[in-house]
Structure 1
């Protein structure tokens, strides 16, 4: 009998994934950050950032940028890398791990690690030797995950939305 881990496929995102990605992004974002509900500020951010056409454009313009985890033809996780991003607190321009979202039901199945491994292979094959991520300082689950995967804290930086500012921990990983 197969296990969930064995049945998960890691592959590049394709335009046909855009609707499912939009829903996955929204669901994980609200579950992670909507601890006090969905404010106008959060709603505006979610609608803009996770718009289907925006996702389609991202996939078309850089086909290596989005990597998905698929289980029984359904998306269960996604990783998005943005190349040449200025780190918010250091004089570093390197790829940013923009998103690593796993549906709650599929957490603790090593899917996040598989997505990271695939992204790192793509980066290494492009002669890139480091990348960074910033994580909300209260998101201990994500911070512990990145520590386990050898990211090192290099500072903190504010993430400004419409009205509120959120403190983030900035992490860097050398490949």
Structure 2
């Protein structure tokens, strides 16, 4: 199985939008109401919002291909593009999503490694992310990859205010 990461650009907008909606729905659809999912997907993954994010120099999207098939994506934020901490010595891993059919094949580990490599190249001291407190699978994955909880924040999903744990992994660079 060959895995490859490719940086996204504005020409990828429609594919990114479709992939975002699909992977987010596969991951969280069964755990949230249909109305809350619709509100969130319409608000966060609409063309205008994604276009603005793609054009922001402090946000970077990367498509994951497995054997030339689009399998998932990664979104990293620096500086003021970060959703919370806004620490210039950190990079935020805002999104890491893999299509259901590719889960369990090492994609998540590959994406984490690439995110860490990119953070190290930028000489960041740590990488951080928010993960829903009820997403046991993701929490276990991040802990296995050296992340630890150092805070929490609210995450609004329609009319449901949820809690995200804020996790961090400290980086060592030469």
Output the TM-score relative to the length of structure 1: 0.83
Describe the superposition over 1:44-99 as per-residue Cα deviations: whole angstroms up to 9, x where unpaired. Answer: 220121123432332233286111101344321111011123646xxx72322110
Tell me, yes or no, if the aligned pair for 1:14 and 1:63 is still in contact at 8 Å.
no
Question: Of 84, 94, 99, which aligns to 1:98?
Answer: 94
SS at match of 1:35: helix
Q: Tell me what 1:120 maps to.
A: 116
Deviation, structure 1 residue 166? 0.6
Question: Of 52, 57, 61, which aligns to 2:56?
Answer: 61
Q: Tell me what 2:128 maps to.
A: 132
Measured on the aligned residues, the alpha-carbon RMSD in Å equals 2.2
SS at match of 2:30: coil
Output the TM-score relative to the length of structure 2: 0.84
Number of aligned residue pairs: 167
Does 1:32 find its partner at 2:27? yes
Distance of 1:81 and 1:28 partners within structure 2:
17
SS at match of 1:138: coil
**Structure 2: tracts of 5 or more residues without a match:** none
Q: Tell me what 2:39 maps to.
A: 44
Does 1:23 find its partner at 2:42? no
Deviation, structure 1 residue 24? 1.4
